[in-house]
């Protein structure tokens, strides 16, 4: 009986502790995430003013002077630079198989295996490409950085669900019907996302001597996955069935951050689609709202080590995320937020788009000219820098895919 009583008391204590924890979490959410009044006063660096204080007035000055400055600061303070390996990395890709009658003959599926190697070892990466069969000539492609199969080391491709949807969410049949191809890679296959940051990761091929972790100014997880996306682009350039001048890069959440950084670095991507990317993606650091820099470092290797010193001092950052969006100009960018996804700071994502607009206007393109956020579910496909806030929260919604198709059709069909 005494033992039963002790178990009962311990159970009550546990329940009360859990209740108290939930209450504390709820209080934290109310005070930190959802309360716009918590946003501190901030001033943003001007993307069109150089480090020397000179105002940029021409596209040439932007591309030759200011943009390289900004990209260098992002590399040294946020994402980390890609180090020079001791020995050149050999890159090979193998076409594992081709199924020309996939999905009842609607498309051709190609499965590929990449291998990256040097004297420090080798790392593999899978890729799948689906191309419509009812078209003549090369087609535009949506390249998605996917979470699919991150723990299995390969991408499963034969799991088409009802209505022609892949398990990673893509409504494949809709893209095929519009004449678009779809490709995806596994954003966790060649880059391990753990505290140890070790194992079979692409980073090991770039280490020097006895190095076992990236140095403070070298790339982390986001930089590594962005590198993966560029290697996928290497293949798409060689595929005669793909219009490699019309490849749109898509990522969601953490992978949305990766997609924006990849598109800024690699101008071969014709378009960037950012879904609920939040901080280190489309949202402004200086708002410190939702997942701010402090909370991002619960994953200590997502960013470069130098970013840590700006925790609580975001105002000292030489850049902010509106400048990342600006560095993708003049290529189209579509930023999607969820109304209830406060962790990703929808308002911060919009303001980032707004403050990047002057660079797009330098090219004579439309962006987000006012500080007032658009109404819910009111996209603007005709803008090169487009933003939509839709109802719902963190995730892919069916309406998101339809809007991406419309955005791709509008901009890829422009003369």
Closest residue by Cα to residue 68 from 308, 223, 360, 267: 267
Third-level CATH fold of 59-412: Rossmann fold (3.40.50)
Catalytic entry in 146, 148, 253, 352: 253
3 state SS of 355? helix
Q: What is the pLDDT of residue 59?
A: 98
The pTM assigned to this predicted structure is 0.89
Q: Tell me whether residue 288 is one of the annotated catalytic residues.
A: no
> Where in the chain are the domains?
59-412
Token pair of 248 as six digits: 């749109």
Closest residue by Cα to residue 257 from 289, 296, 290: 296
Q: What is the pLDDT of residue 151?
A: 34
Q: Is 164 left (phi over 0), alpha (psi -120 to 50) or beta?
A: left
Q: What is the pLDDT of residue 20?
A: 39
Task: Show the CA angle centred on residue 323, arms to residues 237 and 312, nearest 5°.
Answer: 125
Give whole-number Cα distances, 134 to 228, 306, 382, in Å: 30, 50, 27
Catalytic entry in 117, 122, 230, 394: 394
Task: Show the CA angle centred on residue 202, arms to residues 197 and 208, nearest 5°.
Answer: 85
Instruction: State the maximum Cα–Cα separation within the chain, in Å, rounded to a whole number.
Output: 84
Q: What is the pLDDT of residue 198?
A: 66
Q: Tell me whether residue 386 is one of the annotated catalytic residues.
A: no
Residue 62, CA atoms < 13 Å, CB-side half-sphere = 19
Q: What is the pLDDT along the chain (415 residues), one digit of tens a residue?
A: 444 444 333 344 333 333 333 333 333 334 444 567 788 899 999 999 999 999 999 999 999 999 999 999 999 999 999 999 999 999 999 999 999 999 889 999 999 999 999 999 999 999 999 999 999 999 999 999 998 643 343 444 445 555 577 777 789 999 999 999 999 999 888 887 766 676 778 999 999 999 988 999 999 999 999 999 999 999 999 999 999 999 999 999 999 999 999 999 999 999 999 999 999 999 999 999 999 999 999 888 999 999 999 999 999 999 999 999 999 999 999 999 999 999 999 999 999 999 999 999 999 999 999 998 999 998 888 999 999 999 899 988 888 999 999 999 999 997 5
Alpha helices (runs of H) in 266-376, residue ranges in sequence order: 293-296, 321-326, 346-362
Q: What is the pLDDT of residue 34?
A: 57
């Amino acid at each position: 009986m005494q033992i039963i009583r002790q178990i009962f008391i311990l159970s009550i204590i546990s329940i009360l502790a859990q209740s108290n924890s939930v209450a504390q979490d709820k209080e934290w959410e109310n005070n930190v995430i959802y309360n716009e009044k918590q946003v501190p006063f901030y001033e943003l660096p001007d993307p069109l003013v150089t480090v020397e204080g000179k105002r940029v007035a021409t596209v040439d000055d932007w591309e030759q002077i200011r943009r390289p400055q900004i990209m260098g600061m992002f590399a040294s303070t946020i994402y980390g630079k890609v180090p020079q390996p001791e020995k050149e990395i050999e890159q090979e890709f193998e076409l594992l198989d081709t199924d020309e009658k996939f999905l009842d003959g609607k498309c051709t599926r190609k499965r590929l295996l990449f291998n990256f190697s040097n004297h420090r070892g080798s790392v593999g990466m899978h890729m799948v490409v689906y191309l419509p069969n009812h078209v003549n000539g090369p087609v535009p492609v949506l390249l998605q950085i996917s979470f699919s199969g991150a723990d299995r080391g390969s991408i499963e491709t034969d799991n088409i669900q009802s209505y022609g949807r892949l398990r990673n969410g893509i409504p494949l049949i809709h893209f095929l019907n519009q004449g678009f191809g779809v490709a995806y890679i596994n954003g966790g296959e060649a880059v391990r996302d753990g505290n140890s940051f070790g194992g079979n990761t692409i980073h090991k091929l770039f280490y020097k001597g006895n190095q076992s972790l990236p140095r403070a100014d070298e790339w982390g997880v986001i930089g590594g996955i962005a590198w993966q996306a560029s290697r996928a682009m290497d293949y798409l350039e060689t595929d005669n069935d793909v219009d490699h001048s019309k490849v749109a890069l898509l990522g969601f959440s953490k992978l949305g951050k990766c997609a924006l950084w990849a598109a800024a670095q690699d101008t071969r991507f014709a378009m960037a689609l950012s879904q609920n990317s939040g901080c280190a993606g489309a949202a402004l650091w200086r708002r410190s709202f939702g997942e701010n820099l402090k909370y991002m470092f619960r994953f200590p290797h997502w960013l470069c080590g130098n970013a840590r010193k700006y925790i609580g001092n975001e105002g000292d950052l030489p850049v902010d995320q509106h400048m990342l969006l600006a560095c993708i100009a003049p290529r189209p960018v579509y930023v999607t937020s969820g109304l209830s996804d406060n962790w990703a700071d929808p308002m911060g994502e919009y303001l980032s788009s707004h403050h990047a607009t002057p660079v797009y206007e330098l090219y004579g393109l439309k962006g987000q000219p006012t500080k007032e956020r658009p109404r819910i579910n009111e996209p603007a496909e005709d803008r090169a820098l487009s933003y939509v806030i839709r109802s719902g929260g963190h995730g892919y919604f069916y309406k998101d895919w339809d809007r991406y198709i419309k955005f791709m059709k509008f901009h890829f069909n422009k003369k």
